[in-house]
Structure 1
């Protein structure tokens, strides 16, 4: 069931907060309070509106930012892990590998010099971890019916 219009407005505000404060500790109960919903209703509504759970959305944002830090090459994997708000290197590496397809160390070691010529807005879209949808390539739509896990 799709969320009501008023719920969507509140959910977008929460999503904007997550986008802005992804490196801070984010708790579903606190986010649900901001949306004026119970935690269960918030989680179901968030998934219905955005195709992934609040936790998965936070982790996708964190991995996205970690990729940008690792592309620079002057940040270690451990530094990137803690800079994006993850508290466990093991969980970070597992999630990174699941979403990106390579370990954080292998990603950091790749040659990212070609990315310097790509406009930042295009690079953000192309570099977004795709999760269960599979890789998202510029000009292609995600596979129909597949949601982020």
Structure 2
């Protein structure tokens, strides 16, 4: 791997780490591009090439991942969960959640509390796939 490639990967990881840390905060491309020390257009293009999805989609999936846990581990309302993970509109939250998970937040919550399993297994099983069309089970490995 070339020095330039390593530097680019580090810059993208810096921005992705910020999204992981501050997913509930309002994050936009200009802010993330500044964190990565690149232009906005270069950031979007390079992030997608590095991680296989746009920064916006990554942030949406990260927020939905956290919402999945909150919906099944707390008694907070769907609206409260929506706001807590960084969405500002319940409609957008419900639409994105259904796209990523395959069912609306209220239906997902009705599955009941999460089973007691090692956290590493649970996190992998529940992590929404970036390749999911909404028809696969969360955490399932997509067919080649």
With normalisation by structure 1, the TM-score equals: 0.86
Aligned length: 139
Q: Secondary structure at the match of 1:44?
A: helix
Equivalent-residue separation in structure 2 for 1:30 and 1:5 (angstroms): 22
Distance in 1 (CA, whole Å) between partners of 2:80 and 2:142 is 31
Find runs of 4+ consecutive structure 1 residues off by over 6 angstroms. none
Answer yes or no: is the 8 Å Cα contact 1:64–1:129 preserved in 2.
yes
RMSD: 1.8
| Contiguous gaps of at least 5 residues in structure 2 | none
Contact kept? 2:87, 2:93, Cα under 8 Å: yes
Q: Which residue of 2 aligns with 1:44?
A: 45
Number of the residue aligned with 2:117: 118
Distance 1:92 1:33 in 2: 27
Q: How far did 1:111 drift?
A: 2.4
Aligned partner of residue 131 in structure 2, secondary structure: helix
Alpha-carbon displacement from aligned partner over 1:68-92 (angstroms, at most 9, x marks no partner): 0000141111010000010010000
Task: Map Cα deviations across residues 99-119 of structure 1 (whole Å, 9 max, x no partner).
Answer: 10111011111123xx33211
Quote the offset at 1:131 in angstroms: 4.1
The answer on 1:27 being equivalent to 2:38 is no
Q: How does 1:1-149 map to 2 (within 5 A)?
A: 4-112=5-113, 115-134=114-133, 135=136, 141-144=141-144
> How far apart in 1 are the matches of 2:14 and 2:23?
14
Q: Check 1:6–1:130 CA distance in 2 against 1; reply closer, same or farther (3 A cut).
A: same
Alignment check: 8 A CA contact 2:71 2:81 kept = yes
How far apart in 2 are the matches of 1:29 and 1:75? Answer: 32
Distance, in Å, in 1 between the alignment partners of 2:89 and 2:69 is 19
Q: Take 1:6 and 1:54, find their aligned partners in 2: how far apart are those partners?
A: 18
What's the TM-score once normalised by structure 2's chain length?
0.88
The runs of 5 or more residues in structure 1 that have no matched partner are: 145-149
- Partners of 1:89 and 1:99 lie apart in 2 by 15
